[in-house]
């Protein structure tokens, strides 16, 4: 009979990356988890190295590998956290569907086809997917929705601009978090909303129906978003910023705990669900 007690068996996909290392480190420090797998791509220079040591912690006894660990049939408490790259996500999703493992996807820059693939996977396994795992970011998204709903019909009009700052190594722009802010705000503004990515040249006057996006890539910034709500005579700036990457790693671990502790069945969930702030 499967054992429902004990820690959650955790596999980290993208374990040698910047975020994967932090998930490994925080997972090792949390008695709710037992690290059983640390996966990275076949060309990773970290293959064969202890995942704890690569993360800057004490050895974990789990080496970084390009092969998925064998399932422990004695435990039904297992989860996979994916912090990898868009080109790696498909194989991870396929493995989790075949293994029946709950999945937390924190990888950004996914194509529409890959998002559809997550929806299909969620018909057979529980999946948490969000463009940001940060508690503060998701709370700010709710606040942004409320501000927009309250001011969308203000006399003189409401202008919304989204500025995002990330480290120089980030491969996608705008960030998935910025796009999610825009999606939620557009949901309040209405179907005629357009999305403008940067401006250059003689653009003419700003229309009342657009949301502007501006991507800044500097140094080692782990993530910062500023939503500007501009009106005639006054403005509101909503700013949320990470000082390090641990907020994303701890959020992903919290999502994995939520899937297991709430015994969630198949479905596609968000961090709003994890935090009890679902839109329903």
Q: Which residue has the tokens 């709500």?
A: 229
Which domains are present in the chain? Answer: 8-133+245-274 (3.40.50.720), 135-241 (3.30.360.10)
Q: What CA dihedral angle connects 147, 185, 174 and 257, to 10 degrees?
A: 80
pLDDT band, very low/low/confident/very high, at 109 (cuts 50, 70, 90): confident
Q: Which of 13, 77, 166, 180 is catalytic?
A: 166
Question: Distance between terminal CA atoms of the chain?
Answer: 37
pTM, entire model: 0.85
pLDDT for res 70? 83
CA distance 188 to 160: 12
Do residues 174 and 197 lie in contact, with contact meaning Cβ atoms separated by under 8 Å?
yes
pLDDT for res 171? 87
Please choose, from the candidates 202, 183, 203, the residue with its C-alpha nearest in 3D space to the C-alpha of residue 193.
Answer: 183
Indicate whether 246 pLDDT > 80. yes
pLDDT for res 73? 61
pLDDT for res 108? 84
Report the range of poorest mean pLDDT among 57-66, 159-168, 176-185, 271-280: 271-280
Residue pLDDT, tens place only, 125-173: 999 999 899 999 999 999 999 999 999 999 999 999 999 999 999 988 9
Indicate whether 184 pLDDT > 80. yes
DSSP element (H, E) containing 273: helix 271-274
CA distance 108 to 150: 30
More confident call, 5 vs 279: 5
CA distances in angstroms from 94 to 97, 102, 254, 265, listed in the order given: 5, 12, 23, 18
Residue pLDDT, tens place only, 189-198: 998 999 999 9
Please choose, from the candidates 242, 226, 223, 266, the residue with its C-alpha nearest in 3D space to the C-alpha of residue 103.
Answer: 266
Report the range of poorest mean pLDDT among 2-11, 41-50, 106-115: 2-11
pLDDT band, very low/low/confident/very high, at 271 (cuts 50, 70, 90): very high
Residue pLDDT, tens place only, 18-55: 999 999 999 999 999 999 999 999 999 999 999 999 99
Mean pLDDT of the chain: 93
The answer to whether residue 77 is catalytic is: no
pLDDT for res 161? 98
Q: Which of 95, 152, 167, 170 is catalytic?
A: 170
pLDDT band, very low/low/confident/very high, at 277 (cuts 50, 70, 90): confident
pLDDT for res 205? 93
The answer to whether residue 170 is catalytic is: yes
pLDDT for res 6? 85
Do residues 85 and 239 lie in contact, with contact meaning Cβ atoms separated by under 8 Å?
no
pLDDT for res 191? 84
Q: What angle do CA 176, 245, 195 make, to 5 degrees?
A: 15
Give just the sign of the alpha carbon dihedral 104, 109, 110, 115.
positive
Average pLDDT over residues 110-122: 95
């Amino acid at each position: 009979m499967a054992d429902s007690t004990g820690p959650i068996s955790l596999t980290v996909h993208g374990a040698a990356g910047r975020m994967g290392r932090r998930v490994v480190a925080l997972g090792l420090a949390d008695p709710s988890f037992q690290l059983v797998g640390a996966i990275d791509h076949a060309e990773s220079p970290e293959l064969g190295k202890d995942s704890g040591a690569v993360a800057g912690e004490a050895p974990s006894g789990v080496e970084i590998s390009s092969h998925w660990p064998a399932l422990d049939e004695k435990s039904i408490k297992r989860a996979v956290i994916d912090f990898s790259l868009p080109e790696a996500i498909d194989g991870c999703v396929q493995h989790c569907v075949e293994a029946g493992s709950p999945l937390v996807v924190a990888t950004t820059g996914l194509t529409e086809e890959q998002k559809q693939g997550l929806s299909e996977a969620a018909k057979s396994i529980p999946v948490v997917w969000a463009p940001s795992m940060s508690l503060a970011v998701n709370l700010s998204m709710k606040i942004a929705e409320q501000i927009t709903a309250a001011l969308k019909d203000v006399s003189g009009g409401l202008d919304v601009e989204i500025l995002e700052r990330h480290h120089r190594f980030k491969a996608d722009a705008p960030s998935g978090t910025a796009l999610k802010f825009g999606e939620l705000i557009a949901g309040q503004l209405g179907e005629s909303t357009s999305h403008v990515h940067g401006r250059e040249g003689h653009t003419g006057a700003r229309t009342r129906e657009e949301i502007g996006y501006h991507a800044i890539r500097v140094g080692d910034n782990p993530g910062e978003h500023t939503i500007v709500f501009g009106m005639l005579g006054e403005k509101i700036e909503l700013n949320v910023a990470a000082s390090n990457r641990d907020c994303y790693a701890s959020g992903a671990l919290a999502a994995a705990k939520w899937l297991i502790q709430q015994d969630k069945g198949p479905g596609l969930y968000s961090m709003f669900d994890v935090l009890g702030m679902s839109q329903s």
